Amino acid sequence: MFQPADIVGEKLTPETDDSIFALAENLVYEGESEDSFYLDAIELLRGLISRDSPYPAALNLMGKMRLEGLGVEKDNKMSVELFQQAHNLGNVSATHNLALCYRDGCGVEQNFDQAIELFKSAAERGTMKSAWELGTLFDPDHYLHNSNLEKAKHWYKIAAVGGKYHAQVVGGYYQAQYDLADILNAEKEYFDAYYFATLATRNKMVTKEENKEAAELRTRIYINDYQQNGPESELSKAMDKSIIEEMHKRIVLPGAQISNVPLDLVGFTLG
């Protein structure tokens, strides 16, 4: 029979539920997609869920494996059942995953209202991706059901700044920062748009290419503001000239006509 000690020696002694789950999770995500690793993970997970008090995170991970067919036959309905059990036991990741299933009609009848309630529950417990997903459900550029741009902006903002519900949440969700900046730019709310685009350029949880994409959006926002409102706009007055040259070197917007924009008004620092 497979034992955790076969792989990690004494690192997980004594074998607690947390340590066994950590090993199973590692086998799933760091196992280089090898079936033998998935099977070992499943054995560990089954030990955590086949008892009177199942381990919630194990139910959630098993649900994801069923959903993606990792080492087991793909079964969307069973995934929903596993996510539901874990959600009932308070696992916030399962709440988010269950919301995705209701939104997409995956393993369950599509129900946007149920998805909204579940995403809201997860967002209120600090899951910023859930807040962003909630925003998309109200964003007419993503879904037409319950389209409400003000609600979309509300949830994007919560995700973008790291959440209003939990002070311990550090940093915001990149896609929410970018989407909100894009919406505010279209609404000609340039100062706020520039602020959220700046957050996205500084987000350390994404790739440099994504940071660059946000920087290009930020440049477009500034150009739009300057061309419409001139050097006396709120945004122009807020610029920090100390980082101008560095920004000018790093931000290149292909095809942008910026010859009429003063180079000492292209930077911005968030205090």
- Please tell me the distance from the alpha carbon of residue 15 to that of residue 24, in angstroms, as a whole number: 12
77 and 4 in one domain? yes
Residue 147: inside a domain, yes or no? Answer: no
Residue 14: inside a domain, yes or no? Answer: yes
187 and 102 in one domain? no
Query: Where would I find the H helices in 189-243?
Result: 190-201, 208-229, 234-238
80 and 2 in one domain? yes
Residue type, 64: K
Helices 128-138 + 92-104 axis angle, to 10: 20
Q: Residue 142: what pLDDT?
A: 86
Of 70, 89, 110, which marks where a domain is finished? 110
- Please tell me the distance from the alpha carbon of residue 19 to that of residue 26, in angstroms, as a whole number: 10
Domain coverage including residue 45:
1-110
Residue 69: inside a domain, yes or no? Answer: yes
103 and 185 in one domain? no
- Please tell me the distance from the alpha carbon of residue 181 to that of residue 49, in angstroms, as a whole number: 43
Q: Residue 230: what pLDDT?
A: 86
Residue type, 247: M
Q: Residue 86: what pLDDT?
A: 98
Q: Residue 182: what pLDDT?
A: 95
Sign of the dihedral through C-alpha 179, 164, 188, 119: positive
What residue ranges of the chain have pLDDT lower than 50?
A: 1-14, 164-170, 241-271
Of 90, 110, 130, which marks where a domain is finished? 110
Number of domains within the chain: 2
Backbone angles phi, psi at 164, to 5 degrees: -95, -10
Residue 238: inside a domain, yes or no? Answer: yes
Residue 152: inside a domain, yes or no? Answer: no
Question: pLDDT tens digits for 198-238?
Answer: 889 988 888 999 999 999 999 999 999 999 998 888 888 77
Location of structure tokens 């440099």: 208
Residue 154: inside a domain, yes or no? Answer: no
Residue 250: inside a domain, yes or no? Answer: yes
106 and 10 in one domain? yes
Q: For residue 193, with 0-12 CB atoms within 10 Å meaning exposed, 13-18 middle and 19 or more buried, which class applies?
A: buried
Contact 219, 266 (CB under 8 A): yes
93 and 13 in one domain? yes
106 and 177 in one domain? no
Residue 161: inside a domain, yes or no? Answer: no
Query: Where would I find the H helices in 31-141?
Result: 35-49, 56-68, 76-88, 92-104, 112-124, 128-138
CATH number at residue 89: 1.25.40.10
Of 79, 110, 141, which marks where a domain is finished? 110
